[in-house]
Amino acid sequence: MKPKDLKPPFSWKNREVLLQHPLLYVPGCIDDYSSFEFPHWDELFGSKKPVHIEYCSGNGDWIAQKALQNPDINWVAVEKRFDRCRKIWSKLANFQLKNLFIVCGEAVTVTKHYFANESIDAIYVNFPDPWPKTKHAKNRLIAKPFLTQVKRILQDRGDLTLVTDDEVYRDQMILEVLKAQKLKPLYPEPFHQQTPLDYGNSFFDNLWREKGKSIATMVFKNEHE
């Protein structure tokens, strides 16, 4: 299957929340998100397994590898750009990944409205857009609205893993997460370490490594008590 084989399910004028397995479409700027009822993960996947989510999945290189290598885990890719979701879908179809599901939508909106409390075992955010200009900083994902949802959906002792090549954003991520109660750093101060080569490949991982940039990983454990 090629990415172009996945056609847009609706026009902008007729946009709606729509589940067409293995994709959930959650368009922006609609009046009512509550009218759609998202199924339980066990029902969605047809199996009772731990659920791991990757936000900012991009072209899906990393999560497709993980789903292929870890069939005992159900994987969810969240990506807001439809052109990138097409590429994830193509990998899902070509590798016949029954343990991978795709959400096309904005991370905070999708999570707030459709992901149940304490339903996720692990969360990964790989190379989120650093929005380097000060005037654009409000668009950064790793901030209070997103972290509030992360704490809600992660199970007790579940992990939040953040990966970035941007040193400024790395430090800001750490400050934001430390401000969020109950998310405790796994690594000692300065709370990050160099990302190992076996973490998994992605477009940005390969790009920045080729340019000689250092890539940092931060892991935080959700503690409900």
Q: What are 12's two structure tokens? A: 């902008």
Residue 136 and residue 130: Cα distance in Å, rounded?
Answer: 9
Question: Residue 212: its pLDDT value, please?
Answer: 64
Q: Rounded to the nearest 5°, which phi and psi values hold at 16? A: -160, 160
pLDDT of residue 198: 82
Residue 77: which of 42, 53, 94 has the closest Cα? Answer: 53
Q: How confident is the model at residue 109, as a pLDDT?
A: 96
Which pLDDT score is estimated for 209? 65
Q: Is 129 a catalytic residue?
A: yes
Q: What does the CA dihedral 201, 83, 109, 199 come to, rounded to 10 degrees?
A: 0
Chain-centre distance for alpha carbon 72:
19
pLDDT tens for each residue of the chain, 225 residues long: 899 899 989 898 899 999 999 999 999 989 889 999 999 999 999 999 999 999 999 999 999 999 999 999 999 999 999 999 999 999 999 999 999 999 999 999 999 999 999 999 999 999 998 877 777 778 899 999 999 999 999 999 999 999 999 899 999 999 999 998 889 999 999 999 998 878 887 766 666 566 667 789 999 999 876
> In this predicted structure, what is the pLDDT of residue 135?
73
129, 156, 171, 205: the catalytic one is 129
Half-sphere exposure of 99 (CA within 13 A, CB side): 19
pLDDT of 132 reads: 74
Distance from C-alpha of 222 to C-alpha of 155, rounded to nearest angstrom: 7
